[in-house]
Amino acid sequence: MEGDADGEVLFVDRPISFLGDLDVERGFLTDYGCVRGKLLVFPGSSGSTVGPYVIYSLAKKSQAPAAMLVKSPDTLVITGCVLSNIPMCIVSDWLRLSDFLRECVKGRCFGRLLSGEGVFIVE
């Protein structure tokens, strides 16, 4: 899903189960906090096929992330993002990005996604 986005990076180091992990009303991800407006970086999703509906509902309630950067998106994440107009891209070098983010999310860090150019800049 094309699109550019700016925002704080939220790095999640495990697969997200959209049904169960996410509180749609508050845009709250268990153990990680608020996803609203964030650049959500995660390896993939797990569990229920309800995922696309949950992503859609987040967007309708203005609680959605600004973009999703995913190591290996399944059809459910892609479906959810396209339906909800959320920019989404596949991370080509997950190891490097996750190592880097693991260090820098100890404080807050901000990023910019230019999906047309395939670029993700982290400040």
Segment 6-45, which members bind another protein (CB under 8 A)?
24
- Give the C-alpha separation, 114 to 105, whole Å: 20
Residue 49 interacts with another protein (CB under 8 A)? Answer: yes
Q: Are 7 and 109 in contact (CB under 8 A)?
A: no
Among 78, 97, 104, 109, binds another protein (CB under 8 A): 78
Which span sits near another protein by CB under 8 A: 8-16, 27-35, 75-83, 107-115? 75-83
Please confirm, yes or no, whether 98 is among the known catalytic residues: no
**Which of 16, 5, 37 lies closest to 120 in space, CA to CA?**
5
What is the set of active-site residues?
48
